Amino acid sequence: MQGIDCQEKSDEELVRLASENQSYFLCIMKRHEERLFRYIRRISNFSFEEAEDILQEVFIKVYQNLNSYDPSLKFSSWIYRITHNHVISSFRKLKSRAEGQVFEITEEEFNNISGEFDVLKEVDAQLNKELLGKVLNQLEPKYRDVLVLKFLEERDYKEISDIIKKPMGTVATLINRAKKKMEKEIESQNIQFK
């Protein structure tokens, strides 16, 4: 990537440039790979290696569809939607998920989501991080996806709407229901820690 300046360019500029010079696509990949990999792991429970494979397939799809990118959408929403759809498609192909893995949640992410759940303040922070990962893992995918997007990926309602292709009102409803289901599950799990 010698001679290519990626830092000062927006995603939209990189998309335009990548259609003329594929070297710019590497800039797009470098900019988004870490967040998309983490997102894939969070919503899929795939192993590290499976998530890497999925991410590579996502980037192939993104590259193949760059010409269909709609600049009226945020590029990050567009690439997250492709990722989301590809993970769901992969679930259908595999028909079974890896079990036993738990979300790894950073301190900052924990603080971001735990503010929504009063019950998490009652138990030791480390146990809470483990509990939160376990509970997220147990939620139905439609609820886990919106919570991950909202609180861990820090996407706004409009972006979540674009990613999962649901109206913003539906997104708000899903988040509200997900929070209630999670609160109920956290309360039932917390009994073990008291």
pLDDT digits (tens, 9 = 90+) for 57-108: 999 999 999 999 988 889 999 999 999 999 988 877 765 444 444 455 666 6
How many CB atoms lie under 10 A from the CB of residue 2? Answer: 4
Give the pLDDT of residue 169.
94
Rounded mean pLDDT, 130-137: 77
Least confident range of 2-6, 107-111, 169-173: 107-111
CA 8 – CA 53 distance, rounded (Å): 29
* Tokens standing for residue 165: 């292709």
Whether the pLDDT of residue 118 is over 60: the answer is no
- In whole angstroms, how far apart are CA 129 and each of 47, 105, 137? 20, 7, 12
- Supply φ then ψ for residue 151, to 5 degrees: -100, -30
Domains defined for the chain, CATH in brackets: 11-94 (1.10.1740.10), 107-190 (1.10.10.10)
Give the pLDDT of residue 27.
94
Whether the pLDDT of residue 121 is over 60: the answer is no
Give the pLDDT of residue 42.
86
Helix (H, G, I), strand (E, B) or coil at 18: helix
- In whole angstroms, how far apart are CA 15 and each of 34, 158, 161, 187? 18, 21, 22, 46
Task: Give the orientation angle of helix 23-44 with respect to helix 75-94, to 10 degrees.
Answer: 50
Q: If we measure between CA atoms, which residue out of 73, 52, 39, 41 comes closest to residue 152?
A: 39
Q: If we measure between CA atoms, which residue out of 135, 127, 166 comes closest to residue 151?
A: 135
The rounded mean pLDDT for the chain is: 81
Helix (H, G, I), strand (E, B) or coil at 187: helix
Whether the pLDDT of residue 115 is over 80: the answer is no
Give the pLDDT of residue 172.
94
Give tens-digit pLDDT for 18-55.
988 888 999 999 999 999 999 998 888 788 999 999 99
Counts for the chain of helices (H) and strands (E), in that order: 9, 0
Per the CB < 8 A criterion, the answer to whether 82 and 61 are in contact is yes
Give the pLDDT of residue 191.
46
Whether the pLDDT of residue 132 is over 60: the answer is yes
